[in-house]
Structure 1
Amino acid sequence: MKDPCISLCKFTDDICIGCGRSKREIKSWKKLDKDEKRAVLAEAALRLKTLKATGRRKKK
């Protein structure tokens, strides 16, 4: 599973407005297993909606 970072690292209340993850989640991303990563991504999506951030992905 790829890192969800979109290189828009600006934080509001410890949450990145680019990817929706907390600083702790960003630091531990590589150590998480697939299920943990899925859970983080689901939480991040909810956070982005709450922050009304777009969380756009980079174009491939």
Structure 2
Amino acid sequence: MAKRIDSPCVSICRLKGGLCVGCGRTTEEITRWPSMKRPERMKTHQRAAQRLKKLKKD
């Protein structure tokens, strides 16, 4: 298991409905990322991936 969890940012920073269309994170999650602990980052990654799937379906 990796110790470090990298940001899901893919440098497509465009917001649509409060979500980044590049990484699927909310503006709050993007802002808080640097101060998040590992478990919170893992959950954020999971939620962001689910959001991206939904965005791509729409």
Q: Secondary structure at 1:3's aligned position in 2?
A: coil
Does the residue aligned with 2:9 lie in a helix, a strand or coil?
coil
Relative contact order, CA 8 A, sep 6+: which one is greater?
1
Highest CA radius of gyration, 1 or 2? 2
Tell me how far apart the structure 1 counterparts of residues 13 and 37 of structure 2 sit (CA, whole Å).
23
- Correspondence 1:36 to 2:26: no
Dislocated runs of 4+, deviation >6 Å: none
Aligned-residue Cα RMSD (Å) equals 1.1
The alignment's TM-score, normalised by the length of structure 2, stands at 0.86
Sequence identity (%): 38
Determine which of 4, 7, 20 is the counterpart of 1:3.
Answer: 7
Corresponding residue to 1:24 among 24, 28, 37: 28
TM-score, normalised to structure 1, is 0.83
Which consecutive residues of structure 2, in runs of 5 or more, have no partner in the other structure?
Answer: none
Greater per-residue helix proportion: 2
**Structure 1 position 23, deviation (Å):** 0.4
Structure 1: gaps spanning 5 or more residues = 54-60
